[in-house]
A and B are shown apart, each in its own frame.
Chain A
Amino acid sequence: MNGSKKLLIAGIIISAFFVVIGCVWLSLSAETLDEVAEHFGASESPVWAPPIPDYEIPGLEENLAANIFVGILFTLLILGVTFVAGKALKTGK
């Protein structure tokens, strides 16, 4: 196995670890900017309805396994999108 493949596999494993830790802690925490905004009386008026609001599948809120699944799925999606973007940049160069 070459260095790039090892790095890729290590990256996926570390990312999965981050997702699990994040999902366990996420329900107990709040975003800093949200806290500051609420403190100053700002409120949300969304113009876009995201399919997975706040990283939780509708109907499966506070379901740890579903949250971990979403986190890992989108980590892999970002891996793919950035890989394609990186290839395009290299080709453009």
Chain B
Amino acid sequence: MATLTAMFFAAQMMNYPIVGGTTAHLLGGPILAITLGPYAGLISTTIILLIQALFFGDGGITTFGANVWNMGVIGVFIPYILCLFIMKTMKNRRGMLIGAFLGALIGDVLAAIFAGLELGLSILSFPYSVPIAVTAMATHHLFIGVGEGIITAMIISVLWKARPDLLQLPKVAPTWMGELPITSGTSEVHK
């Protein structure tokens, strides 16, 4: 948990260019969710956001709760739920990769939609309406989500081959969600 959290803090310093002349960085929520479970992923993301806000002014103090909701809850739980859903029907490497890609993509876009919603509702400090803010955020983060999805699937693919044990760590998840099916059998991992 500590190693992955530190790695994703460092990874968030690596911005890469996307369409429109702006940049994006890996959030890491999907990988944290898939390897550690959504509760542990939420705690890891919250620690990263807290340090960034307190020491670097990145994200902000007054927006901390919103950021935890967007990136910690939505950006972690949605990828886990989607990956879980897909893995229940495709219990193999392909299912895991599709789940990781779609989970990361949809998780990122949903987190951005919530951020747009929050910005649009901040009528005292933000001059544009909810539809404008949501559209702008969702459009930009569609490209970021594709990037996050590709990188997430690549990392999962490497872990599947090189360190399958990391995909089989006990998941800290709500009981109704349960474990990703990958943890139930090592033979599946090596296929």
Contact = CB atoms under 8 A, between A and B. Distances in A.
A binds B: yes
A82 B5 contact: yes
Contacts of B165: 3
B5 A74 contact: no
Given A31-B15, A35-B22, A81-B47, A11 B4 contact: yes
Interface string A1-20: 00100011001101110110
B11 A18 contact: yes
Contacts of A79: 2-3, 5-6
Interface in B8-47: 9-18, 20-24, 40, 43-44, 47
Contacts of A25: 14-16
Given A32-B140, A81-B47, A46 B60 contact: yes
Interface residues of A, number: 52
B1 A86 contact: yes
Interface string B126-159: 1110001100110011001000000000000000
A46 B59 CA distance: 11
Interface of B: 1-7, 9-18, 20-24, 40, 43-44, 47-48, 51, 53-58, 60-62, 115, 119, 125-128, 132-133, 136-137, 140-141, 144, 163, 165-166, 172
Given A22-B12, A78-B6, 14 more contacts: A11-B6, A15-B9, A29-B23, A36-B22, A37-B119, A40-B127, A40-B128, A50-B53, A51-B55, A55-B13, A77-B51, A78-B9, A78-B48, A79-B6
